[in-house]
Amino acid sequence: MELGVKISGSGFILYRGQGAKLQRALINFFLDHATAEGYEEIQAPLLVNEDSARGTGQLPDKEGQMYYAEKDDLYLIPTAEVPVTNIYRDVILRDENFSIKMCGYTPCFRREAGSYGAHVKGLNRVHQFDKVEIVRIEHPDKSYSALNEMIKHVEILLEKLELPYRILRLCGGDMGFASAMTYDFEVYSAAQQRWLEVSSVSNFETFQANRLKLRFKNEKGDSVLAHTLNGSALALARIVAALLENHQTSEGIRIPKALVPYTGFEFIR
């Protein structure tokens, strides 16, 4: 944490040695699990234009949370959802027999303006963090079954990481204005003795598709709006914090069995 502050400022972190390798191992583990489930891996730009940010609902709602490169009129992405979903902006899919599954790893950038207090210290809220995102574009009749599949996908990841977790279905007042239904995953922080959100899985129904002009041709030949969904699978650095806190032993911090092939070591000592 001290080096992150020295190099960049408050809210930035630096990993080194086994910590850096753990971070890379988690990213590869998440990506491999997603591609094994049929998600196409995307390597996307980290800066997007205004149309892309508006299409997925970051603008005009969250401009205060996004870093803006004024000279180039570009925004640093808060999540891979933005560039990945925008692949299909202004696209009309040929027919209604589609199910598009994509995943992407990116660093994410958030100003966290207005955040303060004990709950933003440490790894709780940082300005730059890594995340693997899963994105789906679905027929309206299939989007809620897709949402359930995405929830199960995240659940399996947390089980393989051997972390205590819970799933919350958010009420309308807690959801983002773009979402029709959202489920949050929280892991237990042994050090802070509270639950921390590590994933949010949402069905946006036609909200984003309407902005993106993302449509498909139905059997009558009419253009119909598709449904879009996305979810964190998963977000770091809170997962790193949860692993460090929940897997402490007398020998050191134990690496979950499913992650050992990626780290190459079983303990952080």
Residue 262 CB partners (closer than 8 Å, separation 6+): 24, 25, 26, 28, 29
- Between the alpha carbon of residue 68 and those of residues 143, 151, 227, the distances in Å are 33, 32, 29
109, 6 contact by CB (below 8 A)? no
Residue 254 appears among annotated catalytic residues: no
Residue 215 appears among annotated catalytic residues: no
Given the residues 24, 89, 111, 125, select the one marked as catalytic: 125
174, 163 contact by CB (below 8 A)? no
Share in percent of the chain as helix, strand, coil (round to 5): 35, 30, 35
Given the residues 52, 143, 199, 200, select the one marked as catalytic: 200
Of 13, 15, 17, nearest in space to 2 by CA: 13
The packing angle between helices 143-160 and 18-36, to 10°, is 140
Residue 219 appears among annotated catalytic residues: no
Given the residues 110, 136, 211, 215, select the one marked as catalytic: 110
Residue 200 appears among annotated catalytic residues: yes
Residue 24 appears among annotated catalytic residues: no
Given the residues 52, 211, 238, 245, select the one marked as catalytic: 238
Active-site amino acid positions = 110, 125, 197, 200, 238
